[in-house]
Amino acid sequence: MNFSLLPALNPGPLTGPGNNTYLLPGPEPLLVDAGVGDPRHLDHLAEALGGAPLARAVVTHHHSDHASGAAAIAARWPGVTLLKLPWPGRDGRDGVAWTPLADGDVIPAGGSRLEVVWTPGHAPDHVCLLEPAARILFGGDLLVARDTVVIPASHGGSLAEYLASLARVRALAPARVLPAHGPAIDDPVALIDRYVEHRRQRDAQILRALAAGPLAPADIVACVYVGLRPELLDFARESVLAHLVKLEGDGKVGRTGESAWCLVPGA
């Protein structure tokens, strides 16, 4: 499968040097993720297209670093079709005319095709895109080679759904994952197994912290994220909250007062 990696040029604490976008050239060129509309990204995309029109752009989920460049892409290539899985309550605010995707859809992509795999958890509308012949998965924010993925529980994230999505992708046994951040992942099944074990250990750390009594998520962060850089504290609180909500669903913790959490007696 032929593709080009085109950095979106949006460095940040979580994006590192910036998002990866991927162009699949051919009779019906397709871009995976839209970046943020940086003019240099658009120029690099035009150069990679070699004068051909962009047929489609698929956004893996509606977080700004993946989707906010869609309007600029539509302005540069007016005939492009912009596709994403619907996120009720969020779509429509950006003025983009999205074409809705559904789990299992097959999309022409360059000279190949991509199968839509709904993988909620990081976001309700998150999808991966599988090229079945080469078993290459465009993974969005499902996996990152050198870190873990933030589950923003206050903004539509769900750790329980994320773990189910990891299990679904593991069962697909992709040969390679091309993520939206960082380098390609050449042993995705092993990475998924490490992710699941990491989440299990984080559950255990949170339960141990709560054994001393009720705590707010910020207090739990201080217990389990020792030495964390200040700019990452908000993301750590979101991750802790995601674990607490999952543990609540497991019947192990509950809420007490306005913002504190506690162990469920006898759980």
103-143 pLDDT, tens digit per residue, is 999 999 999 999 999 999 999 999 999 999 999 999 999 99
Q: Which residues contact 183 (CB under 8 A, 6 or more apart)?
A: 145, 146
pLDDT at 5 over 70: yes
pLDDT at 267 over 70: no
Q: What is the mean pLDDT of the chain?
A: 95
**What's residue 229's pLDDT?**
87
Judge whether 101 and 30 are in contact, CB under 8 Å: no
C-alpha torsion sign, points 49, 53, 54, 55:
negative
Residue 7, Cβ density class (10 Å: 0-12 exposed, 13-18 middle, ≥19 buried): middle
Q: Which CATH code fits 4-186? A: 3.60.15.10
In degrees rounded to 5, what are phi and psi of residue 232?
-105, 0
Judge whether 140 and 66 are in contact, CB under 8 Å: yes
> 72-76, 97-101, 208-212, 224-228 — which is least confidently predicted?
224-228
Single-letter amino acid, residue 192:
I
**What's residue 17's pLDDT?**
82
Domain ranges of the chain: 4-186, 202-263
User: What is the enclosing helix (H) or strand (E) of 7?
Assistant: strand 4-7
Tell me the CATH number of domain 202-263, given options 3.90.950.20, 3.40.50.300, 1.20.58.760, 1.10.10.10. Answer: 1.10.10.10
**What's residue 191's pLDDT?**
98
When pLDDT is averaged across residues 38-54 and rounded to a whole number, the result is 97
For residues 70, 57, 180 and 94, what is the CA-based torsion angle, rounded to 10 degrees? 20
pLDDT at 215 over 90: yes
Judge whether 107 and 145 are in contact, CB under 8 Å: no
When pLDDT is averaged across residues 219-233 and rounded to a whole number, the result is 90
Residue 46: helix, strand or coil by DSSP? helix
**What's residue 93's pLDDT?**
77
**What's residue 82's pLDDT?**
98
Q: Which residues are bridge partners to 131 per DSSP? A: 136
When pLDDT is averaged across residues 177-189 and rounded to a whole number, the result is 97
145-158 pLDDT, tens digit per residue, is 988 999 999 999 99
**What's residue 227's pLDDT?**
86
pLDDT at 159 over 80: yes
Q: What is the pTM (predicted TM-score) of this model?
A: 0.95
